[in-house]
Amino acid sequence: MEAITKRKKFRIKKVKFSKVMLVIGMLALVCFTALPMVAMICRAFMPLDELYLYPPRIFVRKPTLSNFSDLLTSLNASEVPFTRYIFNSLFTAGATVFLTIFICCFGAYGLAKFKPRGSKTIFAIIVAALMFSTYVTQIPNYLIVTELGLVNSYWALILPKVAVAYNFFLVKQFAEQLPDSILEAARIDGSNELHTFWHIAMPLLKPAWSTLAVFSFVSNWNDYFSALVFINTDALKTLPLALQTMAGGAGVVARSGSVGAATLLTTLPTIIVYCIMRGRVMQTMTYSGIKS
């Protein structure tokens, strides 16, 4: 009996030791992964004399807020204030997210539940569109936007990103899981199709369109290429493109602190949106939002 008890204690200690080592290893990987984020935050608060030290530092020793004040002062003194770039990014990203959710949910729900004639062909085209890179379609998009007369306008940054194949595919696959019995019960109770979609299907699709909102916001907020192609005036530039402009040209050394502050301000909204919506993202990925 004593030998058996000693073996059990040894096994318990061995298991606990392996778990401790696993936790330590995972914490080390998390810290290593978080280093770029920590360096970005520290760089936003570094004074100029610390930014160009060799060897370079990751952590700031004398934090300062002068980078943020210099950013607002220098850009507000120019023709286009920094707040204008923030407004442009918020407006275009917000409008794109709203229209994407509206169009993708309507189309995916109709394709999944009504199955109109040619629905399989339409879905096959959508799946085929997933194989093409975004940059491959830039020339056709530019030609269409030019023919519509939308160059150098907010619409040029919004409309080409509304009907994205991946977004439609994501919602459609989730809409397939909607229980038909619930929809039929609503129709029997006298609910019309629009009411059924808005008050029954949309709440059930909330994990899907919440995830869609996160992906769409992050991709559009960080996109500077579209603004580079379609926008000609500084007043319509988005924040990522303005940041690229600030990071180059004359006086780049003097603006290094301001660039670090602008980088932090550009990254914060995407982090905040993901932290708020991460639960919905996990629900969508595991298909646990709907129970049939």
Q: Check pLDDT > 80 for residue 291.
A: no
Of 268, 223, 245, the C-alpha closest to 74 is: 245
Nearest to 231 by CA among 84, 102, 73: 84
Q: Where are the domains of the chain?
A: 2-64, 67-286
Highest mean pLDDT among 53-57, 102-106, 253-257: 102-106
249 pLDDT above the threshold of 70: no
Whether residue 10 has pLDDT greater than 80: no
Distances (CA, A) of 211 to 167, 198, 206: 9, 18, 8
Among 92, 86, 63, CA closest to 262:
86
- Considering only the top CATH level, what class is 67-286? mainly alpha
- Average pLDDT, integer, range 132-137: 79
* Residue 267 confidence (pLDDT): 83
User: CA–CA separation, 292 vs 282, rounded Å?
Assistant: 19
pLDDT cut 90: percent of the chain above it: 4
Model pLDDT, residue 62: 80
Q: What is the CA 53 to chain-centroid distance, rounded?
A: 34
Percent of the chain with pLDDT over 70: 83
The pLDDT of residue 240: 83
